Structure 1
């Protein structure tokens, strides 16, 4: 099922569910809960549920797939959210988003109301 061979350096498949959902993480060697709190691990989610929708609610598009990026459980980079018709397209979209993130082409600072400056400075130094 996995087709994440083209992930850019720093990204890893953290979990892949038999249903097709997947979780990808960025630089777990840096954001390892020693230097930064564990929830600060940048994470891509590939799911059949739109970002922010609770698990109990019925899916609005049961055939659709969604990719979203979080920097913490409550900090989603909403501008990065994207929907796809198939899982194959969603995997390609996740890889493309991972590439943009690693290249520094994702505005993650804009997702914060009260930024963690040290954390964001570290992301800046690792991306782009």
Structure 2
């Protein structure tokens, strides 16, 4: 046996959930998924900077200069809705578990199970209505 079945199963398990695109995947490092890049653009009035993004990383989350370059033993999965707006932050003991957790989070977001309004201090009702339409399959 050459292991190709194992590789195919791992590739399938690592594949992003529907609606998500693998933006970056560093071997044994950071992994980034973006949601519906086809609709988050100026043509659709959904700014590209608001694209929902899931980042997997084992870098420090401390809020001090240079901390994000320090590797840790903990893998973080962070769903951001736009710069500085984090909707979900989860932690895992391995990259493999973090990838699985990120894919589950992506499925739940696409299925409308994540409350993306709660993290906002200032409601953006027109944007929320557009995002509702994307998640409801209207876009």
TM-score band w.r.t. shorter chain: 0.7 to 0.9
- What is aligned with 2:132? 124
Count of paired positions: 125
Distance 1:53 1:98, change over 3 A: farther
Give the whole-Å Cα distance in 2 for the aligned partners of 1:73 and 1:52: 17
Q: 1:27 — aligned with what?
A: 36
Q: TM-score, normalised by structure 2?
A: 0.78
The answer to whether residue 80 in structure 2 is matched with residue 70 in structure 1 is yes
Deviates more, 1:96-105 or 1:49-58: 49-58
Which one has the largest radius of gyration? 2
Which 5+ residue runs of structure 1 have no aligned equivalent?
none
Identify, as 1 or 2, the structure richer in helix: 2
Which stretch of structure 1 is more off in the superposition, 20-29 or 48-57? 48-57
Report what 1:41 is aligned to.
51
The separation in 2 between residues aligned to 1:4 and 1:30, in whole angstroms, is 23
Cα distance change, pair 118–20 in 1 and its aligned pair in 2 (3 A)? same
Moved more, 109-118 or 56-65: 56-65
Q: Is the 8 A contact 2:51 2:81 kept in 1?
A: yes
- Taking only aligned residues, the RMSD between alpha carbons, in angstroms, comes to 2.4
Q: CA deviation at 1:24?
A: 0.4
Aligned with 1:20: secondary structure? Answer: coil
CA contact (8 A) 1:21 1:47 kept: yes
